[in-house]
Every structure is written in structure tokens, then in C-alpha cells.
Amino acid sequence: MQIYLPIAEVSVNALLLFGLGGIVGLLSGMFGVGGGFLITPLLFFIGIPPTVAVATGANQVVASSVSGVLAHIRRRTVDFRMGWVLLAGGLIGSGLGIWVFNILSEMGQIDLTVQLSYVLFLGFVGLLMFQESLRSILRSRQPARKITRRHQHLLVHRLPLKMKFRTSGLYISVIPPILVGMLVGVLAAIMGVGGGFIMVPAMIYLLGMPTKVVIGTSLFQIIFVTAFTTVMHAVTNQSVDMMLALLLILGGVVGAQFGTQIGAKLKAEQLRILLALLVLGVCALLALDLLLRPGELYSISVEGRA
């Protein structure tokens, strides 16, 4: 069932797009990530131009995140106060990221920049998460020596402008959450991701939030930042393909409901290591795609010269 995408200017299978959206929605519900880090490179692989994939991928992240966060709100695992602080930083970062995206587009370097950014960020974050997850699993197998270190984040506690986050059980400065939100906003604009693969480990290891609260709070912030990013891309670049977004959204909403049910049955350590392996897998595929010789080669030469 082929369908023509007017903005992307390519013809693709509609069922394939629906399936991709479903897979990303499943991951959104399980891990608390918007899924943009996976949907955007997958769109690269099926022939969608990077500029369209980034802008439209952010659109799909909104839908899968809404579906996932509703399930977490029902379970009361969303820290709304922390979510608003993260959102303030996210909107600032998103505006900055759109400005950088436009500059790179004018220079003709946006495609390479996006793919290299994915390889670097996914590789770095994936390795850190995998290492920490293995340590957590090893500690959990030794109950007598297990130590809780949730509140030993000294730098966070020393900073000014402290605020109490009751749902997370924290009393810390708002500066680190704002900075984390800004970084996520920049990534959302340039890479078309929700930023969950950065925000989730930062909220756990930097801010010291409980894993179960982190997932719902992460999705809450992702909704607004990616929605803002999508609107900005549509206004400045006209690169949002609504037909592509609709098929991805339909699949994402369905998949997210199943993902939240699966995520509730898994232990926190299992969720972390599965997410780490997934991030490393996507990173390897992107790196391979950059290194392999392309199937079709193009060259640019001055007229009248060899």
C-alpha cells in the first residue's frame, strides 16, 4: 500500500510507517522516552530526507508522549513541579536549536550534522547507561551490601535557588533541571528527538529522582518541548509532512498503551539496561551507514571541466 508524501517528495508503504510508529510508541511507554532518537534514523533508512525526518519525527514524539503520560498520570508517577522547571529550560533551548538548525541548513551541512550528532550522543549516553545498569544489577544481587545513594548529589545540594519537589522527595536547586531542560530543547530542534535518552539518565544520576517518577515526568516535559519545536520547524522551514506525521502518530498512540503495561512489570534495573542496549544498537546502525559506500554516487563538477 504505497502512499505519496508531498513534503518529503517520496513514495513509501503506509503500513510500514504505521508499524514504525507503533514500535516507537511501545518504547515510549516502556522507557519514558519520546522515541525520536529511533524514529528519525529509521526514517533516514527508508528514504525520508533528514530535514523532513527531524521536523516530522518531533511531531510523532508529541503523540506517543501524550499517550504515555496519560497512563503515568493515572498511576500518579508524574512530578508536575519538576516537569514545569524542566519545561522552562526546554523552551529556551528549543528556540536556540531552531536558530542553529536554520544556519546549518543554509550552509548545506544539516544532513551530515544530524547523523554525526546521533552517532556521538547515542554512543556516549548508551555506554554510560549500560555501565551503570550493570553495576545496579550486580548490587541488587548482593542484598547485604546494597547501599542507597540517592541523596548523595553534593553539587546539586550546594547550588542556590532551591525548591522542594514533593513527588520526587527532593529539595534541590532549580538550576540543574533548567540546564538539563535547555540541553534537551536544543537536541529536540536539531535532531528531532524528545531528548528522553539524555533527560532520563540525567534525572536519575544527576538529580537523584526515583526511576518510576522519572519516566512520567520526562514524558510530560517532552510533550510541550517537541510540540513547540514542531511548530517552529513548520513556520521557519516548512518541513513538517502531515501525511507522514499522521501515520506515525496513529501507530505511536496504539504502541504506547502496550508499552506502559510492559514497563510496569519490569524492574528499574531491567528497564535501564534494555534502553542502553537499544540506544547502542541504533548508534551502531547510524555509524555503519556513514562509513559504508553509498549505493548511488553523485559528483558535482564545473561545466566544461572533467
- pLDDT tens sequence across 20-57: 888 777 776 776 565 667 777 778 778 788 778 777 77
Higher per-residue confidence, 180 vs 207: 180
Residues of the chain with pLDDT > 70, as a percent, come to: 80
The pair phi, psi for residue 34, each rounded to 5°, is -70, -25
d(CA 257, CA 65): 10
What is the per-residue pLDDT for 46?
80
3-state secondary structure of 114: helix
What is the per-residue pLDDT for 147?
47
What is the per-residue pLDDT for 155?
64
Identity of the residue numbered 56: T
3-state secondary structure of 173: strand
Averaged pLDDT, 277-302 = 70
Q: Which of 140, 106, 133, 304 is nearest to 205 (CA)?
A: 133
d(CA 213, CA 209): 7
pLDDT at 95 over 80: yes
Neighbours of 32 (CB within 10 A): 34
Most confident range (mean pLDDT) of 21-30, 86-95, 135-144, 203-212 is 86-95
What is the per-residue pLDDT for 270?
67
d(CA 223, CA 68): 10
What is the per-residue pLDDT for 301?
46
Q: How confident is the model at residue 268 (pLDDT cuts 50, 70, 90)?
A: low
User: Which residues lie across from 11 on neighbouring strands?
Assistant: 4
- Nearby residues of 183 by Cβ (< 8 Å), 6 or more positions away: 89, 93, 195, 198
- Least confident stretch, 31-35, 45-49, 59-63, 210-214: 31-35
Cell of 108: 548545506
What is the per-residue pLDDT for 269?
65
Q: How confident is the model at residue 263 (pLDDT cuts 50, 70, 90)?
A: low
pLDDT at 136 over 80: no
Please, are residues 122 and 285 in contact by the beta-carbon 8 Å criterion? no
Q: What is the mean pLDDT of the chain?
A: 75
pLDDT at 252 over 80: no
What is the per-residue pLDDT for 305?
46
- pLDDT tens sequence across 137-191: 777 777 655 444 454 545 666 667 777 777 777 777 778 888 888 888 887 787 7
Neighbours of 15 (CB within 10 A): 13
Q: Which 8-state DSSP code applies to residue 162?
A: E
What is the per-residue pLDDT for 306?
45
What are the angstrom distances between the C-alpha of 68 and each of 73, 111, 162, 166, 236?
9, 30, 29, 22, 29
Q: Which of 55, 7, 2, 10 is nearest to 226 (CA)?
A: 55
3-state helix, strand, coil in the chain (%, to 5): 75, 5, 20
d(CA 285, CA 155): 36
d(CA 134, CA 123): 17
Cell of 301: 563538477
How many DSSP H helices and E strands does the chain contain? 11, 4
- Nearby residues of 80 by Cβ (< 8 Å), 6 or more positions away: 167, 217, 220
d(CA 221, CA 88): 9
Averaged pLDDT, 6-10 = 76
What is the per-residue pLDDT for 241?
77
User: Which residues lie across from 4 on neighbouring strands?
Assistant: 11
Residues of the chain with pLDDT > 90, as a percent, come to: 0
